[in-house]
């Protein structure tokens, strides 16, 4: 009779076949969940021994069971940040919603991938569709890696999209937004994010050490250090004292963008893009900009630093004017 045995924290099913003991992983650390799988084996043990059925766990898994396994194990094994797991949560919610008519995971085939893409396109922009697809691809690859499923049901490919225009703010736009903000603490929060290039959610996971801001719990999971201009130290300290929630900072900024009739595609994250442009102009070194932004590769940074000609003209014109004023009063 098949029984359970725990190995390295995972329950395995023990079964004797041709005079030898064989163990098959249930992929569960919880005994109650493992016992459910065991009962399936006990009911079909003879069938398994005769080789008349495939792996019964693989046969009977539902999409929801696969999702649960992913969320129980992936964050602990990979050390993923909460913001990334939040994105995966939405991706797998859509994956499950798209295939509500599929009873067993093994029923998914290559012909279902276009259905998934159409489902996502009906809900999101092309950029968001690819974000969801990347999350689903990570999920499927992990299931295969852990031998939770035998093989990929289909290969996940991102859809082709036109390169979006850079989402930076011009100096005039930033000035317009800041002039409309009446709450001084909120204004200081926006300024602190603007001059450090932090993501909105990184402010709370940072602290100041003199003229440098140290950011931990980054998306890339490695600490980084960025300089802060002396004129903005007070703003950073005020922002830390205010301790606004990430969602309030983001949503309030979006409201000010709309109030000022600025391109609706620009968000709080566009301040980070703007920081990247400025630093590339200042340092002329994309590797340094990559490190300041905390990107995993230069290719990601390049998306932030595709600077349009009209923006360059505006920045250089301002610099020339400032230099002329210095000479005039020097």
User: What kind and span of H or E run contains 213?
Assistant: strand 212-215
Query: Quick one: which of 293, 297, 268 has its CA closest to 280?
Result: 293
Q: What pLDDT sits at residue 260?
A: 93
Whether residue 274 contacts residue 194, with contact meaning beta carbons closer than 8 Å, is answered with yes
Tell me the helix, strand and coil percentages in the chain, rounded to 5. Answer: 60, 10, 30
Domain residue spans in the chain? 3-60, 63-145, 171-329
Say how far apart CA 152 and CA 144 lie, in whole Å: 7
Say how far apart CA 280 and CA 287 lie, in whole Å: 9
What digits encode the pLDDT tens for the residues 52-98? 344 555 567 889 989 988 998 898 888 777 778 888 999 999 999 99
Six token digits for residue 298: 């230069």
Q: Is the pLDDT of residue 99 over 80?
A: yes
171-329 classified as CATH 1.10.443.10: yes
Six token digits for residue 326: 């210095």
Tokens 């949503």 identify what position?
251
Tokens 């736009």 identify what position?
173
What digits encode the pLDDT tens for the residues 19-57? 667 777 777 888 888 888 788 777 666 555 545 344 555
* DSSP letter, residue 62: -
The SS3 call for residue 21 is: strand
- What is the share, in percent, of the chain residues with pLDDT greater than 70? 80
Q: Is the pLDDT of residue 104 over 50?
A: yes
Tokens 């703007």 identify what position?
274
Find the DSSP H helices in 181-223: 184-196
Q: What is the DSSP string of 90-150?
A: HHHHHHHHHTTT--SGGG--GGGHHHHHHHHHTTS-HHHHHHHHHHHHHHHHHHHHTTSSS
In this structure, what are the phi and psi dihedrals at residue 4, rounded to the nearest 5 degrees? Answer: -105, 150
Six token digits for residue 113: 């991938």
Tokens 């159409």 identify what position?
118
Query: Quick one: which of 167, 172, 93, 87 has its CA closest to 130?
Result: 87
Q: Which CATH class is domain 63-145?
A: mainly alpha
What digits encode the pLDDT tens for the residues 159-206? 987 766 667 888 899 999 999 999 999 999 999 999 999 988 889 889
Q: What pLDDT sits at residue 330?
A: 47
Query: Quick one: which of 188, 175, 180 has its CA closest to 244?
Result: 188
Say how far apart CA 99 and CA 189 lie, in whole Å: 43
Distances (CA, A) of 259 to 17, 176, 193, 194: 72, 10, 20, 19
Identical fold at 63-145 and 171-329? no
């Amino acid at each position: 009779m098949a029984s359970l045995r725990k190995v390295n924290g995972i329950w395995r099913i023990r079964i004797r076949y041709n005079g030898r003991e064989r163990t098959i992983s249930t992929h569960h650390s919880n005994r109650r969940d493992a016992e459910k799988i065991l009962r399936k084996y006990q009911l079909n043990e003879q069938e398994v021994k005769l080789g008349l059925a495939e792996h019964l766990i693989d046969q009977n898994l539902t999409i929801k069971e696969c999702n649960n396994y992913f969320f129980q194990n992936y964050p602990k094994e990979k050390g993923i940040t909460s913001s990334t797991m939040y994105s995966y949560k939405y991706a797998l919610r859509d994956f499950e919603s798209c295939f509500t008519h599929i009873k067993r995971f093994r029923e998914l085939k290559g012909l279902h991938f276009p259905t998934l893409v159409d489902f996502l396109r009906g809900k999101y922009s092309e950029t968001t569709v690819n974000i969801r697809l990347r999350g689903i691809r990570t999920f499927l690859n992990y299931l295969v890696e852990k031998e939770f499923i035998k093989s990929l049901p289909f290969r996940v490919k991102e859809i082709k999209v036109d390169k979006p225009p850079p989402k930076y703010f011009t100096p005039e736009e930033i000035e317009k937004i800041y002039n409309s903000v009446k709450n001084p603490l909120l204004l200081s929060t926006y300024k602190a994010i603007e001059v450090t290039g932090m993501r909105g959610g990184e402010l709370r996971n940072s602290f100041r050490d003199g003229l440098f801001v140290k950011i931990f719990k980054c998306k890339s999971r490695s600490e980084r250090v960025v300089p802060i201009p002396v004129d903005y130290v007070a703003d950073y300290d005020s922002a830390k004292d205010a301790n606004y929630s990430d969602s309030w900072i983001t949503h309030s900024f979006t409201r000010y963008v709309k109030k000022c009739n600025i391109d609706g595609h620009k968000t709080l994250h566009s301040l980070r893009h703007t920081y990247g442009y400025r630093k590339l102009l200042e340092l002329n070194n994309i590797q340094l900009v990559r490190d300041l932004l905390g990107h995993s590769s230069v290719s990601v940074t390049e998306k932030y630093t595709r600077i349009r000609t009209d923006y360059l003209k505006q920045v250089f014109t301002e610099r020339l004017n400032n230099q002329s004023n210095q000479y005039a009063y020097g």
